[in-house]
Amino acid sequence: MDQNEILLGKGISGVNFGMIQAEVEKILGKADEVGEYSLSPSENSITLFYNNKGLSFTFESVDQFRLSYISIYHSQYHIFNFIKIGLSKRNLLDELELFQLGKPEFEKADSEEFPTHELIYFPNENLHLWLDDGKISEIQFGPFWEDMKTIVWED
């Protein structure tokens, strides 16, 4: 199996959604950085940053600190050998139908700091493609959902 292939709904490089922090660290080693975030008074998350690999892994308290999201920042990782960091929005949209990801949703996410930031979201795949300057700058994905409340965890 290609260790750089993003497996939507499942994971990447032998790391699967639903794992706990210790399982991820056993596979990838100690993270370069660990971030702890308070999402609300009752919700927290922990993110492991593997800067040299261009990966981060987020564990949320609402999911009992099981792996909830993976973020990709390096062009070596890909979806279908096509969607990767640096791919232009134009090329993505021209070829999108081939990949049957469902209808995308578009959201402007610009700010003073990131004036060209935007999001292309595929709800059926729990896939977020963040773009800057018209190119994918981050790929974020999570497990599939059975319904609005039930995550499909890999066994």
Higher pLDDT: 6 or 155? It is 6
pLDDT of residue 149: 75
The per-residue pLDDT for range 3-40, each reduced to its tens digit, is 899 999 999 999 999 999 999 999 999 999 999 998 78
Q: For the chain, what are the domain ranges? A: 11-152
Q: CATH classification of 11-152 is 2.60.460, yes or no?
A: yes
The per-residue pLDDT for range 86-137, each reduced to its tens digit, is 999 999 998 888 888 888 999 988 888 888 999 999 998 999 999 999 999 9
Alpha carbons 125 and 102: distance in angstroms, whole number: 8
Q: What is the pTM of this model?
A: 0.92
User: For the segment 42-90, what is each residue's pLDDT rounded down to a tens digit?
Assistant: 899 999 999 999 999 999 998 999 999 999 999 999 999 999 999 999 9
pLDDT score at 155: 61
Q: Is the confidence at residue 148, as pLDDT, over 80?
A: no
